[in-house]
Amino acid sequence: MKVMLAVTHLLGTGHLSRALTLARAFRDDGHDVLLASGGMPAPHLDARGIEFVQLPPLRSNGTNFTTLLTATGTPVTDGERAQRVRVLEDTLGDFQPDALIVELFPFGRRILADEFMALLSAARRQTPAPVTLCSIRDILAPPSKPSKAQRADEIISTWFDAVLVHSDPSATRLDVSWPVSDTLRPFLRYTGYVAPAPAVIGAPGPGAGEVMVTAGGGSVGDRLFQIALQAAALDPNRRWRLLVGGSDREQRITKLAASVPANAAIEAARPDFRQMLYHAAASVSMCGYNTALDLLQAGTPAVLVPFDEGSEVEQTLRADSLAILPGITVLPDSELASDTLLTALETVIGATPRTTSGLRFDGASETVRLTQEMLEHRT
Give residue 36's pLDDT.
Answer: 98
Give residue 354's pLDDT.
Answer: 85
Q: Give a yes or no: residue 202 inside a domain.
A: no
Give residue 357's pLDDT.
Answer: 67
Give residue 379's pLDDT.
Answer: 60
Q: Give a yes or no: residue 204 inside a domain.
A: no
User: pLDDT tens-digit profile of 319-340?
Assistant: 998 898 899 999 999 999 999 9
Average pLDDT over residues 253-272: 91
How much of the chain, in percent, has pLDDT values that exceed 70?
98
Average pLDDT over residues 358-377: 94
Q: Give a yes or no: residue 221 inside a domain.
A: yes
Give residue 308's pLDDT.
Answer: 85
Handedness of CA 307, 308, 314, 320 (dihedral sign): positive
Whether residue 295 sits in one domain with residue 182? no
Whether residue 286 sits in one domain with residue 314? yes
Q: Give a yes or no: residue 333 inside a domain.
A: yes
Q: Give a yes or no: residue 203 inside a domain.
A: no
Helices and strands, counts by H and E, the chain: 11, 15
Tell me whether strands 58-61 and 64-70 are parallel, antiparallel or unpaired: antiparallel
CA distances from 368 to 21, 191, 359 (A): 11, 10, 19
Strand order in the sheet with 99-103: 51-54, 32-37, 2-7, 99-103, 131-136, 162-165, 188-190
Residues 334 and 310 sit within 8 Å (Cβ to Cβ): no
CA 96 to CA 90: how far, in whole Å? Answer: 10
Whether residue 138 sits in one domain with residue 11? yes
CA 63 to CA 218: how far, in whole Å? Answer: 11
Whether residue 367 sits in one domain with residue 321? no
Average pLDDT over residues 23-31: 96
Q: How many structural domains compose the chain?
A: 2
Whether residue 29 sits in one domain with residue 166? yes
Q: Is the pLDDT of residue 51 over 80?
A: yes
Question: What CATH number has the domain bearing residue 302?
Answer: 3.40.50.2000
Helices (H), ranges, the chain: 14-28, 78-95, 113-125, 146-159, 222-233, 249-256, 273-277, 289-298, 314-322, 338-349, 363-378
Average pLDDT over residues 4-8: 97
Give residue 218's pLDDT.
Answer: 62
How much of the chain, in percent, has pLDDT values that exceed 90?
74
Residue type, 361: F
Q: Is the pLDDT of residue 11 over 90?
A: no
Which domain range does residue 28 map to?
2-197+360-378
Q: Give a yes or no: residue 355 inside a domain.
A: no
Q: Give a yes or no: residue 75 inside a domain.
A: yes
* Residue 75 DSSP code: B
Whether residue 48 sits in one domain with residue 90? yes
* Residue 2 DSSP code: E
Q: Give a yes or no: residue 49 inside a domain.
A: yes
Residues 219 and 248 sit within 8 Å (Cβ to Cβ): yes
Whether residue 63 sits in one domain with residue 12? yes
Whether residue 104 sits in one domain with residue 25? yes
User: pLDDT tens-digit profile of 157-192?
Assistant: 999 999 999 999 988 899 989 999 999 999 999 999
CA 38 to CA 57: how far, in whole Å? Answer: 5
Q: State the chain's mean pLDDT as an integer.
A: 92
Whether residue 110 sits in one domain with residue 236? no
Whether residue 106 sits in one domain with residue 177? yes
Whether residue 296 sits in one domain with residue 274? yes
Q: Is the pLDDT of residue 217 over 90?
A: no
Whether residue 239 sits in one domain with residue 136? no
Q: Is the pLDDT of residue 199 over 80?
A: no
